[in-house]
Amino acid sequence: MGLDHKTIIRHCDFFEGAFLIRRLPPYSANIKKRLVKTPRLFWRDSGLLHSLMGVATRDHLFNCPWVGASWEGFVIEQTLASLAATGDHCEAFYFRTSDGHELDLVLDRGGELWAVEIKLTSNPTTEMIKKLNKSADLIGATRRVLVCNIGRKIANETLLVTDLNGWIKNLISFT
């Protein structure tokens, strides 16, 4: 783009102030791995993003290489908006190490950490759950959530695998 990083940061500040993007800061855990420390940016309005990208139909959307990132941004925005609507202003982060461990969303709910992984799939695998648990263990998260397009939820004391609607209902019940 030919712009220096200070100009880009000013533009991002403007877009964030206009509620067009959300800047999600990295979670800094006291672990022995190298952490990615730059914030992640998400479009707050996925409909606007899809329009700007020229998406005209659902089929077109699902053929776009960035549809997974759009889904992540949508779920994160719905999560944080739902929490704010109930008066729960927990801190939100993402987590990523240089060797590939990652969590799309980390919620600090008054000292209790929730690790959230977001996948645009209707068939979550045990490998996805193992990766979620391994990353959650790195930060000491007590609750682990995999949000996907699953038909019925899977839940135990620490793990929830559910669709977006089930996630929001579960989340609000804890506020």
pLDDT tens digits for range 36-78: 678 888 888 888 888 989 999 999 999 999 998 999 999 999 9
Domains of the chain: 5-173 (3.40.1350)
pTM: 0.87
Q: Are strands 112-118 and 159-162 parallel, antiparallel or unpaired?
A: unpaired
- Predicted pLDDT at 39: 85
Task: Kindly report the average pLDDT of the chain as a whole number.
Answer: 89
Confidence bin at 32 (pLDDT 50/70/90)? low
94-109 per-position pLDDT tens digit: 999 888 889 999 999 8
- Give the separation between CA 100 and CA 60, rounded to whole angstroms: 30
For the chain, helix, strand, coil in percent to 5 are: 40, 25, 35
**Apex 144 CA angle, 140 and 147, nearest 5:** 145
Q: How confident is the model at residue 85 (pLDDT cuts 50, 70, 90)?
A: very high
* Residue whose structure tokens are 């200070």: 6
The predicted structure's pLDDT at residue 36: 64
Strand partners, 23: 41
Does residue 139 surpass a pLDDT of 90? yes
d(CA 96, CA 104): 8
Q: What is the DSSP letter of 43?
A: E
Closest CA to 119 of 68, 157, 50: 68
pLDDT at 23 over 70: yes
Q: What is the DSSP string of 38-58?
A: SPEEEES-HHHHHHHTT--SH
The answer for residues whose C-beta is within 8 angstroms of residue 15's C-beta and 6 or more apart is 21
Residue 117 CB-half CA count within 13 A: 25
By mean pLDDT, which of 1-10, 109-118, 153-162, 164-173 is the weakest? 1-10
Judged by DSSP in three states, 3 sits in coil
Residue 131 has pLDDT above 80, yes or no: yes
The whole-number average pLDDT for the span 18-30 is 83
pLDDT of residue 31: 60
Using CA atoms, how far apart are residues 156 and 161, in angstroms rounded to an integer? 9
Q: What tokens does 123 get?
A: 């068939």
